[in-house]
A and B are shown apart, each in its own frame.
Chain A
Amino acid sequence: MKVLTGAYRKIKDLHPHEAIAPGTGLCAGCGGLEGLRMALKELGDDYIICNAAGCFTLLSVYPFTPLKGSWLYTTMGGPTPAAQGVRDALDIRMRHRGLEEKENLNVIVVAGDGSSNDIGFGATSAAIHRGLDFIYFCYDNEAYGNTGFQLSAASPYASATQTTPSTDVHEAGTEINKKDLFEIWKAQKPVYLATVSPREPIDLSNKFAKASHLKGPRMFICMSPCPTGWGFEPKEAQLIAKLAVDTGIFPVKEYYEGEVVHTVRPRKRLPVEKFLERQKRFRHLFKPHRQDVVIKHIQQRVDEYWGQYE
Chain B
Amino acid sequence: MWRIRLHGRGGQGIKTASQILGSAGFYSGFQAQDFPLYGAERRGAPVMAFTRISEKVILERGPIISPDIILIGDETLLNDSQSAPLCGADPTTLIFVNSPHPPEKLAQKFSLVTADLTDLCHKHLNKRTIYSSALSAVGARLLGTIELADLLQAVEDELTQQGIVTQALQGNLELVREIYTKIEPAILTPKVEKTLITKPMVLPDYRPVVDGAPIILEPGNMALRKTGNWRVERPEIDYTHCNDCLICYARCPDGVIAVNPEGRPAIDYDHCKGCLICAQECPGHFINTVRETGLFP
Contact = CB atoms under 8 A, between A and B. Distances in A.
Given A165-B163, A238-B281, A287-B165, A65 B222 contact: yes
A66 B226 CA distance: 12
Interface string A155-176: 0000010000110000000000
A99 interface: no
Nearest to A41: B255
B263 to A, nearest CB: 8
Contacts of B58: none
Contacts of B39: 25
Given A27-B43, A234-B276, A11 B221 contact: no
B253 A198 contact: yes
A21 B43 contact: no
Given A28-B230, A198-B253, A201-B250, A64 B225 contact: yes
Interface stretch (A12-20, A80-88, A115-123): A12-20
Contacts of A166: 163
B44 A28 contact: yes
B195 interface: no
Contact of A11 (B166, B224, B227, B250): B250
A22 B216 contact: no
B122 to A, nearest CB: 14
Interface in B267-285: 268, 271, 273-277, 279-281
B221 A237 contact: no
A234 B41 contact: no
A283 B162 CA distance: 11
Contacts of A58: 40-42
The residue in A20, A165, A235, A283 that gathers the most chain B C-beta atoms within 10 A of its C-beta is A235
Given A12-B246, A26-B42, A234 B275 contact: yes
A223 B246 CA distance: 22
A117 B226 CA distance: 34
Contacts of B216: 60, 62-65, 71
Nearest to B9: A28
A69 interface: yes
Interface string A17-49: 010111111111111011001100000010000
Interface string B245-262: 111011111111011000
Chain B interface size, as a band, is: 35 or more
Interface residues of A, number: 55
Contacts of B221: 21, 63-65
Contacts of B274: 28
Contacts of A234: 43, 275-277
A24 B163 contact: no
A67 to B, nearest CB: 6
Contacts of A61: 40
B4 to A, nearest CB: 24
Interface string B236-250: 000000000111011
B219 A67 contact: yes
Contact of B253 (A12, A18, A29, A284): A29
A228 B11 contact: yes
Contacts of A210: none
B49 to A, nearest CB: 16
A22 B220 CA distance: 8
B204 interface: no
Contacts of B69: none
B151 interface: no
A23 B218 CA distance: 15
B280 A25 contact: no
The residue in B40, B250, B273 that gathers the most chain A C-beta atoms within 10 A of its C-beta is B250
B271 A29 contact: no
Nearest to B259: A16
Interface string B144-181: 00000000000000000001011000000000000000
B271 A11 contact: no
Contacts of B226: 23
9 A-B pairs closest in CB distance:
A29-B275, A22-B271, A66-B222, A28-B273, A27-B42, A235-B276, A28-B275, A234-B275, A34-B253
Interface of B: 10-11, 39-45, 163, 165-166, 214, 216, 218-227, 230, 245-247, 249-256, 258-259, 268, 271, 273-277, 279-281
Given A14-B250, A67-B219, 9 more contacts: A11-B249, A16-B259, A21-B255, A27-B10, A28-B43, A63-B214, A201-B251, A227-B43, A234-B43
